[in-house]
Structure 1
């Protein structure tokens, strides 16, 4: 009996030893796994710390239309005068420098220097539309009482444009003491000097393709509404010649339609010029442009943000 009990005790002790060995092995495995995870986590934290120290989490500015411009599509069929040419690109919108917009008309040629720094979305939109031949063979349908040639509406109704709009840019501040006669106070530069090129939002704040080329100084009596997009760099004499064309009723009771058609035969926009050269001396806005010499610079009083 003693021998049987000894055998049972030995078997029980052996079983206990095996259980303890298994437990010890399991514990060692858990510790190795935990140590490995801890080491991996430490490496991850060290890597993230180094990435942060090197500026990896700093937000890099992305120069795209998504960040700079918002193109708002119009509802289909709402504006029967709108022309569907799609939407401008949502990437690679230049936000500095200038572009030359060349306007070939049946009355002569005009070059506009677009200001991409102050009006990048306008520059992007005009470049896109010009690439679609949007303005070709259209008429400048008004010589406004404010002293500007009104172009860019293929329908000639003041309601036409592309099937998208975009918000105002670079609208000048109101004159300190606006004159009821829409003329600046003595010594105060005009809000829109002759040679200024601005968009014509319709409705207000919603821009499309319509633009104004001012042939004389203009300061509105009310809050300015036209976003400045650039200036005439050549051909102001052509605009001045057009301004002298007789106007007739446009069908809505306003005597603003040119009696002789002013047709844009072609409109193109050139490449970005990052460092445009100084255009030279500023012409005297009171002087009448010569029919044989094209002013090379912005008219006197042109706002610096339109240069």
Structure 2
């Protein structure tokens, strides 16, 4: 089977934060990753304002990573077959502000975790900034994953959104309704177009309201959240027209290591 995967005015204004900024991370049509469930199949969950139930562990899947512009750094796309769809991958993001522990959920987003782990192992994130912070009520996130630090960079390939979007039927009106992305969530940025996930991700340090169209692929540990909250307390420079800006306390990713 195939796996494809208002809240406040402040949250709406900050939404552009989560959209990558140019063709290097923008969408081109691509074949959906494959796995155990499909967007557009089955019955959409009842609207509750909360994220739907995450998928259970499943069998390995195949993914599609479609070439998409130039890469911000030279990397090789990840292996696309026999991708694990069960278990948790533990990672540590060492930053200039302190260590941030990540628990990557292979069952919820196998193709996303597969890509993130591949990029981490190739050193793609090393020496890169977390380029944007939003501290608005209803949207409180730190965004990272672009080596250019501009919000426009990507890995030279794109792939489809997974959980929670793939739980809903294609075109479901609920995909335009906000849900709570809980404190501690790790999710992917995208342009709003199919296949536009790349390398940029955001760390949610307080409950935030967004449409369920951003792939949730893990959680941040409490120690890491404390690091992000300290950065957030310093505010941002307000340089982003859609809301937020570069953190006043710079955050540089020194390395991302994944436990074997």
Q: 1:9 matched to which residue of 2? A: none
Match of 1:125 among 115, 130, 133: 115
CA distance in 2, matches of 1:83, 1:230: 24
Q: 1:95 matched to which residue of 2? A: 85
Is the counterpart of residue 160 in structure 1 residue 153 in structure 2?
Answer: yes
Q: Which has the greater radius of gyration?
A: 1
Higher relative contact order (CA 8 A, sep 6+): 2
Q: Which runs of 4+ in 1 moved over 2 A?
A: 81-84, 171-178, 202-205, 249-255
Q: 2:214 matched to which residue of 1? A: 226
CA shift digits 1:43-66 (9 cap, x unpaired): xxxxxxxxxxxxxxxxxxxx66xx
* TM-score normalised by structure 2 residue count: 0.66
**Deviates further, 92-101 or 195-204:** 195-204
Q: 1:25 matched to which residue of 2? A: none
Shift of 1:241: 1.0
The count of corresponding residues between Structure 1 and Structure 2 is 192
Q: 2:65 matched to which residue of 1? A: 71
**CA 1:254–1:120: 2 relative to 1, 3 Å:** same
**CA 1:253–1:200: 2 relative to 1, 3 Å:** closer
Gaps of 5+ in 2: 1-58
Question: SS of the counterpart of 1:247?
Answer: coil
Match of 2:96 among 87, 106, 112: 106
CA distance in 2, matches of 1:128, 1:229: 14
Gaps of 5+ in 1: 1-62, 183-189, 272-307
- Calculate the aligned-residue CA RMSD, in Å: 2.6
CA distance in 1, matches of 2:95, 2:77: 26
CA distance in 1, matches of 2:88, 2:197: 20
CA distance in 1, matches of 2:205, 2:245: 15
CA shift digits 1:150-206 (9 cap, x unpaired): 01111112111101111000025687995xxx7xxxxxxx62010011011135341
Q: 1:137 matched to which residue of 2? A: 127
CA distance in 2, matches of 1:122, 1:264: 19
CA shift digits 1:86-119 (9 cap, x unpaired): 2111333111001012111111111111000110
* TM-score normalised by structure 1 residue count: 0.57
